[in-house]
Structure 1
Amino acid sequence: MKNIIITGTSRGIGYELALEFAAAGHQVLALSRKQPQALLENENISCLSIDLSLEEDLEKVQQFIASTWKKVDILIHNAGALLLKPFGEISAQEFENIYKVNVFGVANLTRICIPYLQKGSHVLTISSMGGIQGSMKFAGLAAYSSSKGAVITLSELLAEEYKEKGIAFNVLALGAVQTEMLQEAFPGYEAPLNAKEMADYIFDFALNGNKYFNGKVLQVSSTTP
């Protein structure tokens, strides 16, 4: 049984992951602003209503770990904020808000968890193909895709910094998955994979990928977008 933190559990991939890990007998801490009833009612899932952009909210996570778990085996950064807007029309505040969730939220939550991670722990960041250097880019996603590129580099750096402690940091850069966020970015597009199918892949990688990879960015994409 492992202690697993997952962000962005209100819908889509994060929601499916929380249920899948709980069904396998693991203890899950589900972090999102809204909490679905199915997660609240699951005996293996603890829910915290968290805005990742607020450091004071993240302190609730530290208090929970210190008082309840004492250790974290897997941390999955799945949450993401999306903005679809021409670059010239994006305000400085809007750009910053995307980075507060997608980059600073990842960094701050990781920092909180570091004292509770140990040899064999796995920190997995869910990024996007839009954040991969040289990949196809799409107009209107300047804030989102650049933020996803930032967390890729952050993960590579943390893998180097904590390799002597046996803590692995990896990134899965996802292509198109049929989620509400995909529909916001590409209205009408139909992806070949649904949230449950991608969650199945991430479930296995989170549990076992750190045996084979550290500091790596794996492109999990069958289509573009």
Structure 2
Amino acid sequence: MENKNIIITGTSRGIGFELALQFADAGHQVLAISRKMPKSLMEHSNITCLSIDISDENEMEQVEKFVKDSWSNKVDVLINNAGLLVNKPFEQLTTSDFEQVYKVNVFAVAALTQVCIPFMKKGSHVVTISSMGGIQGSMKFPGLAAYSSSKGAVITLFELLAEEYKESGIAFNVLALGAVNTEMLQEAFPGYEAPLSAKEMANYIFDFSLNGNKYYNGKVLQVSSTTP
């Protein structure tokens, strides 16, 4: 398999961390984006770590500069994995809470995708990690109004992008994940043990990111064996 240039956000822990290692160990070049970087990623020869806050549009320029300078203007796969969760009763949620969640889960996803599209050619794939909480008609949970509504917004965004760029050959798909045993899940459901580990889910996303665009575009796949 041809080695590809892969951008992944939210690589400090959980699924993003496991994905960065898996792609790099397979020989692909990885740009790992997160505010904090684990030492194991920084020391990997196939991983470049970029410590930026994706909710700050000005810092996105560093991604563009890297792709131009180091990857010869070529991005094969973008995985929008970073997410922010606020768990509060609805009446306690502030405008600032909503703004912070939407900045990371929607606006930053849109901004990074805008940066990457000019460097993506036919056969490229943009994969956005959403949640079952963003699926219409799915089970909803108290305290997750900001998080789940933002995940619903990003689903609609990528359905639209698939249509807008359908002549380009770039695929846009969303994976709506169910319960995965990550730190974020523990923040939402303290003490709950999900049946899938971050590494197991990363295995699925790894293969889907490289091959799913052959079969899907503009689709939302529900990747869920159980819901808390």
Report deviation, 1:115.
0.5
For residue 30 of structure 2, the aligned residue among 6, 28, 31 is 28
Question: Is 1:161 aligned to residue 164 of structure 2?
Answer: yes
Give the Cα separation in 2 of the matches to 1:18 and 1:39: 8
Equivalents in 1 of 2:54, 2:150: separation in Å?
A: 14
The structural deviation recorded for 1:200 is: 0.2
**CA offset at residue 219 of structure 1?**
0.2
Structure 2: how far apart are the matches of 1:62 and 1:143?
30
Of residues 165, 174, 180, the one that matches 2:177 is 174
SS of the counterpart of 2:66?
A: helix
> Is residue 94 of structure 1 aligned with residue 97 of structure 2?
yes
Counterpart secondary structure, 1:164: coil
User: With structure 2 as the length reference, what TM-score do the two structures score?
Assistant: 0.98
Q: What is the deviation of 1:147? A: 0.3
Question: Is 2:98 aligned against 1:78?
Answer: no
Following superposition, the deviation at residue 52 of structure 1 comes to: 1.1
Corresponding residue of 1:64 = 66
| Aligned counterparts of 2:91 and 2:54: Cα–Cα separation in 1 | 26
The residue that corresponds to 1:190 in the other structure is 193
Identity of aligned residues (%): 76
CA-to-aligned-CA distance 1:71-114 (integer Å, 9 cap, x gap): 10000000000000011111101111100000000000000011
Match 2:146 to one of 138, 143, 146: 143
State the shift of 1:68 in Å: 1.0
Q: How far is the alpha carbon of 1:138 from its aligned partner?
A: 0.3
SS at match of 2:130: strand
Q: Secondary structure at the match of 2:8?
A: strand
Amino acid at match of 1:6: I
For these two proteins, the number of residue pairs brought into alignment is 225
- In 2, the alpha carbon distance for the partners of 1:129 and 1:221 equals 8
Cross-structure match for 1:200: 203
Q: Secondary structure at the match of 2:55?
A: coil
Query: What does the per-residue CA deviation read over 1:117-164, in whole Å, with 9 as the maximum and x for residues that have no partner?
Result: 110000000000000000000000000000000000001000001110
Amino acid at match of 2:24: A
Structure 2: 5+ residue stretches without partners: none
SS at match of 1:139: coil
**Cα distance in structure 1, aligned partners of 2:180 and 2:26:** 23
TM-score normalised according to structure 1 size: 0.99
Structure 1 residues not aligned, in runs of 5+: none
Say which SS state the counterpart of residue 98 (structure 1) adopts: helix
Partner of 2:19: 17
Structure 1 position 120 matched with structure 2 position 123: yes
Deviation of residue 67 (structure 1)? Answer: 1.1
Q: Tell me what 2:46 maps to.
A: 44
**Residues of 2 paired with 1:45 and 1:11: CA distance?**
15
Report the AA paired with residue 105 of structure 1: A
Match of 1:3? 5
Give per-residue Cα distances to partners, 1:158-196, cap 9 Å, x unaligned. 000111010000000000000000000000101000000
Distance 1:205 1:116 in 2: 20
Distance in 2 (alpha carbons) for counterparts of 1:186 and 1:68 = 41
Q: Distance in 2 between matches of 1:114 and 1:26?
A: 19
- Flag as ranges the 4+ runs of structure 1 deviating above 6 A: none
